[in-house]
Structure 1
């Protein structure tokens, strides 16, 4: 299949964009005229409640060849290793967890077949929490389309590019970039390189948005202008296809006699988008101490408690390390938030061994973690000259809710059963100036 050599995008996070693939397809002055140009149907897509405050309201008007109601009845299909938070979870020990990368299998599987759910929290039915998935794929979706009615999808490729065909247009995303697909948007994914692997965060709660900058002021972190939205593109495909929808944790398929990606024009602020993580403007210490990882937040999904996110998407990109008289790696800590971490490429400074690209770690609420013995020793004794932290791109899905590993994640061969041993080399270094108590 021939793929676009270059794609055009619309810039600006959360802006009300407008785009048309045919001149005059987009109505002027009203969203739902009595008759739409070219015989198109007007259809509103809302990813927030109608009455959400204006600054949080997300909706887009679609002008399409056929309305979305034209499809067959759904039938249940096998969900493989996909799992969803339903409000009840197995007992979760307060241990730390880490998994090796999963290999891309030899048997054919597309982006949806290749989902592996590793952990979930919250409850999809009450729209709070999230799920952490991996994906491993080696074939295009072809005549299969997908819709996640349960949550917003944050896609983090780790190996191989993705060509994401959506109702609003096309996104091409590779390692070092992310894509976000709103809840309920239909899409299919091709693999230009024949295979791909990566991470998925399925957001059941409030839509992802840019975090406030606070005292940082007008500049820094992720800039609105660097988020890219697709230009209108449509697929006029009049042949049998299948739409698979994830709803309340189950998978269902329906038959269509046409492609659901037949939107000729659109206007609104709820649409798929992509972001190049290299454009993130890192704010870091230039004096002393290691700041909290919140300074690396790219996107956030709020909860009902201010300051405690449903989800924070945090990255650890290349950056300068200049803090003086400071233990520079992440310090030992226990956190009220649960931290699920992945590695796109390179080495994570606190875990130079055992944490490989494509791997995953999970440190739940109040589970102690931090640098291993070798890192601690080096960071405690090295000369603190300015140093460039290169060859690294790690990230974290952080949540206020405990993440419960799935039964598969707990029992699979990729789980590192001896993960906690990476701290076994930490020895007692205390030297008291007086005799020990009781001696």
Structure 2
């Protein structure tokens, strides 16, 4: 049986991949016949303007049984059935630190909720119509999408499973995405999600640009996420007539249309605009320093750059298991106020900067210039522990969605979900004054 994925040979302007399920379905060179082989239709999926510079141009050619235009009119889905939104003014803004307890997952005994029905927006900013901004969502589901597909006209999804594996069928092929892996499905790509039980995870959506690997600067050629560790699907198709439901996200609203066949009928494809996944265990950590805690940018897996140099629309950052061998320094993350917004989630384990309360399947939001940092217990332990090489975060995977947009929470996240941890700020209240002006030597 053919592999369900291929490793990318690059992740930059030179990357281009090809795959075909039927021999000869892809035209070779300029010898394109008047009609496609096997009676296929040609369709181009463009992720950038036609005239974008070569190194930024994103597009793929699809050779499919029917073109994607063969569907009925889209009709709005009733808003009472949707928890996904771009309405950032429905709930009063707050600058306070926010933490959510783990979000409830529908059980097998409850009514069936699939991936699309289980999408809930937590926070965000911007306007998809202007191609500016971001959104953070959680998905909570217990059922597979049956004869149903989804695509997002507003932006790219970076999906972070936390509970339960996802089998994701795309127009380019199928891939399985486990917790501690991420999956990026880019704007306009149609996909369907199969689950194997109650499932939960996080989604970072960007309305502008696409995710890419960060520049390494002085790190050099090797480190962080390596291009060869990213995987993309192998071609797979189904030629099946069925009453299919196509769901579209457009301007933050959900629409649905009927079509009489499977949308996953792409027999062959080539290009550089593809879905892909990455195993977070393959991240090459850069962390050993002599003093001071490094900025979290050294843990960036993917970035979506803005037009302002060095400033990201969004970064996806992880805090994986690693050796902490600093000397003469306070090891945990320093107390901090930031011009960026930081949403944190936990896939598994125990985050080292919080003694308790920050749990897998929950999250936290530290908004622009809102102070945050290690809690009282973490500070005291880190201030007195012996400075020797130590492996930290074993069995843990925490992550951060960081953006230069000032995000606000939605009504569902701020009130309706009933998961706000009202005691969150108490974790810092026990930090006492240690100042002693008579102390002349460092202890």
Same fold (TM over 0.5): yes
**Smaller-chain TM-score bracket:** over 0.9
Q: Which residue of 1 aligns with 2:396?
A: 392
Bigger shift: 240-249 or 72-81? 72-81
Q: Quote the residue 1:96 is aligned against.
A: 97
Structure 2: which 5+ runs fail to align?
none
* Residue 269 of structure 1: aligned partner: 272
Cα offsets for 1:285-307 (capped at 9, x unmatched): 33121100000000001112111
Query: Once the 2 structures are TM-superposed, how far is the Cα of residue 433 of structure 1 from its aligned partner?
Result: 2.5
Matches within 5 A, 1:205-354: 205-354=208-357
Q: Which residue pairs with 2:37 in the alignment?
A: 37
Aligned residue in 2 for 1:20:
20
**RMSD (Å), alpha carbons:** 1.6
Matched, 1:426 2:427: no
TM-superposed CA distance for 1:429, in Å, is 1.1
> In structure 1, what is the Cα distance between the partners aligned to 2:240 and 2:197?
23
Cα distance in 1, alignment partners of residues 412 and 254 from structure 2 = 18
User: Taking structure 1 as reference, are residues 167 and 30 closer, same or farther at Cα in structure 2, changes over 3 Å only?
Assistant: farther
Task: Provide the C-alpha distance between the structure 2 equivalents of 1:281 and 1:31, rounded to a whole number of angstroms.
Answer: 43
Query: Is the contact made by 2:158 and 2:184 (CA closer than 8 Å) also made in structure 1?
Result: yes
**1:133 pairs with 2:143:** no
Give yes or no for contact 1:86–1:125 (8 Å, CA) kept in 2.
Answer: no
CA contact (8 A) 2:3 2:234 kept: no
Q: Render the CA deviation track for 1:17-52: whole Å, top value 9, x for unaligned.
A: 000011111111149642111000000000111111
Residue in structure 1 matched with residue 161 of structure 2 by the alignment: 157
**1:173 maps to which of 172, 177, 182:** 177
- Give TM-score, length-normalised by structure 1: 0.95
Structure 2 match to 1:437: none
Moved more, 13-22 or 181-190: 13-22
Return the alpha-carbon distance in structure 2 between the equivalents of residues 52 and 85 of structure 1.
Answer: 28
**Deviations, residues 89-144 of structure 1 (Å, cap 9, x unaligned):** 75422110000111211321000111111001111111111110101111110111
The TM-score with structure 2 as length reference comes to 0.94
Distance 1:240 1:353, change over 3 A: same
Aligned partner of 2:202 in structure 1 is 199
Structure-2 separation of matches of 1:366 and 1:123: 22
Secondary structure at the counterpart of residue 310 of structure 1: strand
84-93 or 374-383, larger mean C-alpha shift? 84-93
Distance 2:111 2:352 in 1: 35
Q: Secondary structure at the match of 2:255?
A: strand
Q: Single out whichever of 233-242 and 24-33 deviates more from structure 2.
A: 24-33
Answer yes or no: is 1:147 the counterpart of 2:151: yes
Match status 1:111 vs 2:108: no
Deviation string 1:147-173 (CA, Å, 9 cap, x unpaired) is 111110100000110000000001110
SS class of match (1:55)? helix
Aligned length: 430
2 CA distance for matches of 1:37 and 1:139? 38
Q: Which residue in the other structure is 2:418 paired with?
A: 413
Contact map agreement 1:240 1:256 (CA 8 A) in 2: yes
> Cα offset for 1:6?
6.1
SS at match of 2:378: helix
Partner SS, residue 410 of structure 1: helix
Greater shift, 326-335 or 412-421, is seen at 412-421
